[in-house]
Chains A and B, each alone.
Chain A
């Protein structure tokens, strides 16, 4: 994975750039000591690191605008950063870039239950948005697994999902408006607490643009009333094919569970050894959760169990109480930690049509043997968003490269069966060079033209999302 060579002219002007930034920000909001900029050298994709020229930590939209104006003027690339939890390297700096961290902007600006929205500063963490409204019976639906730490800014940049998307959608379906600062410092308001756009759906293209179109400083988010209750059922099957067919039958039957999670045998074994959730040892396991009143839950789970029964489950376990529900979720929620106990791992994020599930899992198994690396599968089956975890040893020379090559083959397979490279983590630098697998040159060019409009000088997070050779002429201009 290559990053562009830092611009020597910018590096030589560091002192002047820092001085200008200090003129518009409080002293503690500009970080340029190399010992401190190191804190911003990577995000959750820790394999790649590079300290930035400086990091700035503004507290308001006006400060963000002032910073961007200076960077625009100086021609300095800016890498926006939420909480730095990106698994795709979305917040990886270059040596000549300024990290613009929004973490200090974490206030709730407005809560409106009558109109069912909350307006927050974008540095607020995902879980604390729900935290601000849950005692009043509301919640914010997108729930990425990093929700304790990840910021709304990053959620918007990556159009984050979570386990409950089948029913509630992803970030773009729950975002009503943003205050955004463009690279030249212009502040724009897009959308608001109403339900459709006045003209073009600019909000729709801003969401998921990986910090390349502007810096979102405030967001208006849809909040939903909490369901009366929820209950999971766990089902074990003796093949991936059968579990996949069961998922499809549940969906066809007209039940819309809030979550359908899938784990394969390697994943079950690893999580069982780690979390001891009491999972059955079988080839494939589904956790299906439904919501509603106790009677509604009974009705839906009754139907789901009836469907599962037709697929000869080796285990069918319904949570009788809160404690049992927690145990059913325990293994699933510990899956990543469990894999981390075994070795280093790389988490992929391709999405496939649900119907291709058995084929894709079989091919991943075959490739695992070819590459000599173990892989465990845990994913959101209802929407086909896979999370294969490839195990490797970071201390073993060549293992990371082998793992990356294996990962690339899996993602190519996802595209081949009609899916995509990334369902919720984003492209960042991780999948950047695979974009040509999914998109033809004209498809990519159309996306680059959008960036041309929002950021004509290509200064915002410029080395991400698109292969460097594709953006070379624009970045150099």
Chain B
């Protein structure tokens, strides 16, 4: 395999397709290079940043279409000007992963990168309603569209979301966006252990008060966010505090609160060790944390997402034994230590993954579909 020094950066979709058609080498596909998994990408860097620009934005239809290399910041600025936003609260892992660069919307979607609001507004994949991509044959493929209800044929849009550049290279994405709320408030509960914190978050998420963030940051507090019109936020914050009275007195925090740090897994930035993400049933989280031998941890998504910091090279999966859910190592001190970044799949699922990879990228040009399987 030849390694190229300079990154390739096609100027448009046609040029990208041509590059792929004649390619003889592996590519490491990236948007801004801000969030890829360690050890997954290998080969010549192929950047999508040249294929950029917002192509359609209709605030009245809650729809935005942009080329994949469009900087995330450009999209967020355009949305903010109309009082709207991406629903899924894109995390910024640069500090935690020690990366530079500018996130692109294609990279966000290829990573299915979703923040605390995932519990209420869904993941990136839930906002993605249409894609264009170039597959491993160099064919341009379109799926979905710009309307939010669309069941015409198979949903390759979802398949592309979170596929980490393994099946094809996104060139354009269509998204459902949402109005930004007028107000937000955060309730903070102090002194809860993991199990009590999950119980409090479950009670909040099981209430009708539309909690849009539920996280537990050991030592800092258990946090619950409410967003919407001002009067409604005040009403729901009060009702929620009353509902949670059994967990202690909830303090109300105005403004952004701890959410940007929780979203970005900031407590692990600059701290040595491997960083893992566990996707589990919230009520299982406290027990898994106890078994993990974590040096630090953080729960988001009501306990459904657990961030764990371990000593370098410790295989968390072995330590946890069999459990329901999966663990991804998002930051490896030594990416070559033999621990796969992605959770190994059961054989029948791995066979489907391999089959899709083989059909979409028969020459194996792109990022491996599953670090455990390839």
Contacts and interface: CB of A to CB of B under 8 A. Distances in A.
Interface of A: 112-116, 137-138, 158-159, 161, 165, 169-170, 172-173, 182, 186-190, 192-205, 207-209, 225-228, 247-249, 251-256, 292-293, 295-296, 299-300, 351-355, 380, 383-385, 418-427, 431, 435, 438-440, 442-447, 449-454, 465-466
Given A200-B353, A256-B179, A454-B352, A173 B122 contact: yes
A251 B282 CA distance: 34
B6 to A, nearest CB: 30
A207 B150 CA distance: 12
A208 B161 CA distance: 16
Nearest to A450: B154
Contact of B152 (A186, A248, A427, A452): A427
B151 A115 contact: no
B170 to A, nearest CB: 14
Contacts of A204: 125, 155, 157-159, 161
Contact of B352 (A159, A196, A202, A300): A202
15 contacts: A159-B155, A189-B346, A194-B324, A198-B345, A201-B161, A204-B157, A205-B154, A228-B208, A252-B83, A423-B147, A424-B151, A443-B143, A450-B156, A452-B355, A453-B352
Contacts of A419: 145-147
Given A195-B301, A204-B158, A422 B151 contact: yes
Contact of A424 (B149, B159, B345): B149
A188 B128 CA distance: 26
Interface of B: 58-63, 82-83, 112, 114, 118-119, 122-123, 125-126, 135, 139-143, 145-159, 161-163, 166-167, 178-182, 199, 202, 205-208, 228-229, 231-232, 235-236, 239, 279-283, 301, 304-305, 324-326, 328, 342-343, 345-346, 348-349, 352-353, 355-356, 359-360, 369-370, 373
B147 A255 contact: no
A449 B175 CA distance: 25
A334 to B, nearest CB: 23
B159 to A, nearest CB: 4
A254 to B, nearest CB: 4
A240 to B, nearest CB: 15
A418 B146 contact: yes
Given A204-B161, A255-B179, A352-B147, 10 more contacts: A112-B283, A199-B345, A207-B155, A251-B179, A254-B83, A295-B232, A295-B235, A296-B228, A442-B139, A454-B355
A256 B304 CA distance: 26
A321 B308 CA distance: 51
Given A186-B348, A225-B208, A114 B282 contact: yes
Nearest to A244: B60
A465 B325 CA distance: 33
B161 A435 contact: no
Nearest to B82: A252
A226 B369 CA distance: 39
Contact of A195 (B118, B157, B342): B118
Highest count of chain A CB atoms <10 Å: which of B60, B166, B229, B232: B60
Contacts of B119: 195
Given A113-B206, A200-B162, A225-B208, A450 B359 contact: yes
B229 A299 contact: yes
A419 B157 CA distance: 15
A226 B228 CA distance: 18
B13 to A, nearest CB: 13
B283 A200 contact: no
A77 to B, nearest CB: 19
B348 A188 contact: yes
A332 to B, nearest CB: 18
A439 B140 CA distance: 12
Nearest to A166: B148
B326 A205 contact: no
Contacts of A383: 147-149
